[in-house]
Structure 1
Amino acid sequence: MAAAQSAVNAGSVPQTPQTSSQKQHGKRPFQGHHRKPGKYRKKEKPVQEGSHEEVLLADVQALLASQKITDEAENGAAGEAAPLPEEGSEIEVDVVELSSTGDGLAKQKGSDHLYVVPFSVPGDTVKIKVYRHNHNDGYTTADFVSVVKPSPLRDDSRIQCPYFAKCSGCQFQMLDYAEQLRIKKNIVVKAYRNFSQLPPELVPEILDTIGSPLQYGYRTKLTPHFDGPRGNPRRGPKKGHEQMPPFGFTPKNTRKVLDIEDCPIATEAVRKGLADERARLAVEYSKYTKGATILLRENTKRVPKSSPSDIPKPPDGTPPTAVRVDTDTHTDFKTCITDQNATSTEYIDSFVFTNPAGAFFQNNNSILSPFTAYIRQHILPPSPSPAPGSDPTKKPIRYLIDAYSGSGLFTITQSSLFSGGSIGIDIAEKSIAFARRNAALNGLDEAQCRFLAADAPELFKSVSAYDPDETVVVLDPPRKGCDASFLRQLLAYAPRRVVYVSCNVHTQARDVGVLVRGQVEEKDGEGEMKKKRNVRYAIESIRGFDFFPQTGHVEGVAILNRIDE
């Protein structure tokens, strides 16, 4: 299970290519999975900006560099390195640090060579199985086998999943939740240190990470899968499964599916959906000649209450297995959708959003209320008493541009703040169609909230009537962040304020660095560079949000203001 999905409400403004280099309580520690060296190895791929591999390598290099400085200060120049253990051998290592990927960085006694160990925390002594030496990058990947001596941070009684340390979806179930939030704050700190290319004085102190109201039972979408029968030819007749195949998720760094009967981070409705799909597959497995991925998406039907003691009946067509959730003002009936093309419905406070069930919408509904409230509190500049020498004629912000708008999360939830109007822009016509439908469902007309399908090169041309001095732009790109062309357009348009929401704080840090350094090249009619114009931004605040508790993932919100020179 991939714990971290795309950004909140991520749309699909096009990007140009970028280059860069069981549960077991009691006295015995739980046992992790391991594999034979060389088996199920993934094909090496070029490292992409903001990828797991690049983030891990940055942390490895930083730790290696700090070790070298310490060792040379204490012992002089380093001698010849000791030989590394054979791949497939088991050794004990001490975990000294956590990478921003959620993996432990560990050393064997008497050696400074680093081992990347999943499901471990600083202070652990763990047994690992050596998997692969990455000689060029200076570290070794390993499989977790067992805990030899637990860290003071570790408490395995917290683990609520029998597949923990086998399934790759969660990394932190052994940790206190407050500690998880501290770790995620540090991930944001390191992201800006490693990827923004900004001097420390231009990056404000990272604020504490906002936690999720639910730490389990929060995921509104899962996509378990199973493989096809082995031995089928590429062409010609194919046979179906002779027995039910493993149905679940793929463990870390392997291709073999791990059979999963339940997932405690999923909502009750999705967990019921998983059980139902397993039961169906147990009967119908022989029909499948190929593998398949199954969508499990929570869907909500809301019935208002006339009083807190009212007991509404479920809407027509609601199955008797629907999960009922009561509040003082309404009752929600939650079911699980498996049809990619069906329409799913979710509520955020009094806002309603519909989407194709297979399309992206944020997978932790419980945090969306405090999250959108935070954006609402910070999307406009603070308004303190006028400072001596300040410009009393400065225009108020009247417009919102929601780039990568998807189905309209920010355009709709923030629209009441903007007297001039809000516009959501996305390249995907289907997303824009649902965004317009969602605006109508929430009683918003086009004067308040409108949507436009536009390609990236035309994005800011389409809002030329919006005075940049009166405009805030919300960015919510996919994991790879904004491409260089988009950032140039943004700097050329120069909105007064930018709110950058990201599911990948590493690419966010890179892009924020571009905005803070600034500068725009203006060209003449023949495409020749005419002059350079300084357009720079200052970072007001950076904060993480924990959309995926128990995992190493953190979302980020950075707020920037244009510097008027």
Structure 2
Amino acid sequence: MKKNDRVTGTCLNYTFEGLGVVKVDGFPLFVKDMLVGECGEIVVTQVRKNFGYGRLMKLISASPERAEPPCKIFKQCGGCQLQHFSLAELQRFKTQRVKDALERIGGLDCHVEDALMMEDGWYYRNKGQVPVGVDKAGKTVCGFYRINSNDIIDMDVCLIQHELINKTVQCMKRLIGEFGNAEVFRHLLVKVGFSTREIMVVFIVREKRVAELKKMASMLVAEVPEVKSVILNLNQRADNVILGDEEELLYGRPTIVDELDGLCFEISSKSFYQVNPVQTVKLYNQAVAFAELSKDDRVVDLYCGIGTITQFMARQAAHVQGVEVVAAAIEDAKRNAARNGIVNVDFVCADAGEYAARIADSGERVDVVCVDPPRKGCDERTLEAMLTMAPRRIVYVSCDPSTLARDLKYLGERGYGVERVQPVDMFPWTYHVETVVLLSKLITKKHVNIELHADELDLTSSKSK
């Protein structure tokens, strides 16, 4: 098989990114926009040693689970990958993705619950990170990067972003065109409080033109009065990191507010806050349910961010300690807890692994550990500290099934078994999936035998009396 060959094949499975897997004479081709069971004519676009890539040229037979993507730039944009899936097929894919990772990477044969889906999975994102540029005709463009490219696909409406984000980006695109300063901007970061409809806009810029940018902020607020915060973020780095270190408030407050399940949270420009509030409530309530907390339980919440899971758990526990390395997030967490009148929490600004090791060394009693790490998962120091703390339960919240499986294998080999696995679709129409896992201390065979022997002794003693 070589590049530009035309072949016919049937999709048998999916890659973790949702590409269709088509085997031609036993050789796997990964093909975008194909569903399991579909047959199509494919042109080979790339051939590697053990696999290749293809492009679907003609669909010969379609799956009943195929949906018509409503987004007009779906095929070019790299934001969503799976708009051609039905909701049922999306659920099967995300559930199986978690199951496959646990089996192949973690060596775990455990039941995975069906992913908790979002029935109306549109306009759900509360955060938009939109690159700004100029096209070949000199027109300002704001959109998303083309797949595997740095070209910006211009966008007026994104179907997975909140309506107020779309409105704000449209206004800013027009203003940038009027001011003729697209070269100043790298990105627009827009955050929305779903319950409050408050908007934060961050101008991520290459040059600090404060007077000009303040004028733009005033014009934006006049047109979009929901904007309560405009921040200038200076980023002169040469890499792909979106936010720089230097910030200045151009308008309004430094934070906006949102509400989750009766709890209020202040959100700053650099706060980590789940992007889908509707599904976040399902995710956090699942984590709390898995923890099976009592009013006597002490909880440690590692990678706590602005204290969202911390406060959800504090409503049922004796005390929860949140640990986060980002200082601004910890300040937000403290304010959030005070705002909500939650007093049985405290927050520590520290590396999760380092502080977990300190707790472990202190011998302090910990009943439940909750961990919600970044995509790379937990490092070995953090995992070891969790083991030393010896909690009754570990609740692991993960945004990446592969690193989750790796960490579960590590913990499993050292005494903690997987009890329950619940995927949650936090990112409809993409291949991403969040997962909540409950781990409990394993009872070793030796321990069971000792307990049985002790029971027998007690029984014999009772009879002799």
TM > 0.5 fold call: yes
Structure 1 counterpart of 2:71, from 133, 136, 161: 161
2:30 alignment partner in structure 1: 116
Quick one: percent identity of the two aligned structures?
A: 24
Structure 1 counterpart of 2:15, from 95, 99, 102: 99
Give the CA deviation at 1:268.
1.1
- Contact persistence 1:372–1:410 (CA under 8 A): yes
2:107 alignment partner in structure 1: 197
Structure 1 unaligned residues grouped into runs of 5+: 1-83, 230-240, 304-317, 324-332, 384-395, 519-535
1:352 alignment partner in structure 2: 264
2:391 alignment partner in structure 1: 495
2:118 alignment partner in structure 1: 212
1:180 alignment partner in structure 2: 90
Give the CA deviation at 1:125.
2.8
Summarize the Cα distance change of 1:463–1:450 in structure 2 as closer, same or farther, 3 Å threshold: farther
Aligned residues: 403
Determine whether 1:457 maps to 2:354.
Answer: yes
| Cα distance between partner residues in 2 of 1:254 and 1:145 | 22
| Cα distance between partner residues in 1 of 2:54 and 2:362 | 56
1:216 is aligned with what amino acid? W
Helix, strand or coil at the partner of 1:173: coil
Determine whether 1:563 maps to 2:458.
Answer: no
- Contact persistence 1:168–1:252 (CA under 8 A): yes
- Contact persistence 1:228–1:291 (CA under 8 A): no
Superposition CA RMSD, Å:
2.8
- Contact persistence 2:165–2:192 (CA under 8 A): yes
2:131 is aligned with what amino acid? H
Structure 2 unaligned residues grouped into runs of 5+: 198-219, 234-246, 248-253, 448-465
- Contact persistence 2:306–2:333 (CA under 8 A): yes
| Cα distance between partner residues in 2 of 1:153 and 1:181 | 11
2:308 is aligned with what amino acid? L
Q: How does 1:297-336 map to 2 (within 5 A)?
A: 297-299=191-193, 302=196
- Contact persistence 1:426–1:432 (CA under 8 A): yes
Helix, strand or coil at the partner of 1:266: coil
Give the CA deviation at 1:339.
5.3
Single out whichever of 177-186 and 272-281 deviates more from structure 2.
272-281
Q: How does 1:71-110 map to 2 (within 5 A)?
A: 84-86=1-3, 88=4, 91-108=7-24
Single out whichever of 354-363 and 399-408 deviates more from structure 2.
354-363
1:544 alignment partner in structure 2: 423
Helix, strand or coil at the partner of 1:223: strand
Helix, strand or coil at the partner of 2:280: helix
| Cα distance between partner residues in 1 of 2:276 and 2:229 | 15
Structure 1 counterpart of 2:379, from 479, 483, 488: 483
2:301 alignment partner in structure 1: 402
- Contact persistence 1:213–1:366 (CA under 8 A): no
| Cα distance between partner residues in 2 of 1:228 and 1:167 | 17
Q: TM-score, normalised by structure 2?
A: 0.79
Helix, strand or coil at the partner of 1:182: helix
Structure 1 counterpart of 2:177, from 282, 287, 291: 282
- Contact persistence 2:412–2:418 (CA under 8 A): yes
Q: TM-score, normalised by structure 1?
A: 0.66
The C-alpha deviation readout for 1:80-100, integer Å capped at 9, x for no partner, is: xxxx132x5555443221122
The structure with the greater share of residues assigned to helix is 2
- Contact persistence 1:407–1:432 (CA under 8 A): yes
1:513 is aligned with what amino acid? K
Give the CA deviation at 1:144.
4.4
The C-alpha deviation readout for 1:8-59, integer Å capped at 9, x for no partner, is: xxxxxxxxxxxxxxxxxxxxxxxxxxxxxxxxxxxxxxxxxxxxxxxxxxxx
1:243 alignment partner in structure 2: 138
Determine whether 1:254 maps to 2:149.
Answer: yes
The C-alpha deviation readout for 1:91-120, integer Å capped at 9, x for no partner, is: 544322112221111134xx2211111222
Summarize the Cα distance change of 1:376–1:321 in structure 2 as closer, same or farther, 3 Å threshold: farther
1:441 alignment partner in structure 2: 339
The structure with the greater share of residues assigned to strand is 2
